[in-house]
Amino acid sequence: MEAAEALLREIGCEQSLLSRPDGSATFMQGDTSVLAGVYGPAEIKFSREIYDKSTIEVILRPKVGLPAIQEKNQEQLIRATCEAVILGTLHPRTSITVVLQIINDAGSLLACCLNAACMGLMDAGIPMRTLFCGVTCALDEDGQLTLDPTTKQQKESSALLTLAIESSENKVLMISSKGAYSPAELQQCIAAAQISAQNIFQFYRDSVKRRYSKS
């Protein structure tokens, strides 16, 4: 099994772009970009409230048209990741809504959505026990691993895995996969994603520092 191409595409982020949400962020990975708007904690209908914690909702909007099955599946994965880190017990009987608008999909979209969601939650001041990020790995038939693949690299891969990693203990919160891979290849993807996650978390910290040093 060959070593991974351990380079992420260039990443960028801008927070507080929108005035109506409580927090917002746009996240870019290469030519892939996602805009996140976070609303809450806010009042919620009695029928949907949870008495001991906040209700987390994620809405993923495609670049054009209406959400399809793929977007609905990704919504569930992003929501499960958010629920694992948001300290919802601090705001019971409220809702926290993350709206993600796909601006451009040039590969590794789910990872970019996760990163936009985290930066949006940070901008809204939502209490979280840890930060999180997404990393996508593509495997070809020879076991070559490519991090943060483009659309073309995804189409040429035999397996595609997106992992959500948390910052405090570098643990895996969620894995979404497509295609066939061996247990050894899975471990290789986890290890590569955990290393890449440290670079993304450092980017989070640097971008927040830059923002507050300007204000």
Return per-residue pLDDT of the chain as tens, 215 residues. 233 345 789 999 998 889 899 999 999 999 999 999 999 887 777 777 777 888 899 999 999 888 888 899 999 999 999 999 999 888 888 889 999 999 999 999 999 999 999 999 999 999 999 999 999 999 998 889 999 999 999 999 999 999 999 999 999 999 999 999 999 999 999 999 999 999 999 999 998 888 777 65
Q: How many domains does the chain have?
A: 1
**Domain span at residue 37?**
11-214
Whole-model pTM? 0.92
CATH assignment of the domain containing 207: 3.30.230.70
Q: Is residue 195 part of a domain?
A: yes
21 cis-preceded (ω within 30 degrees of 0): no
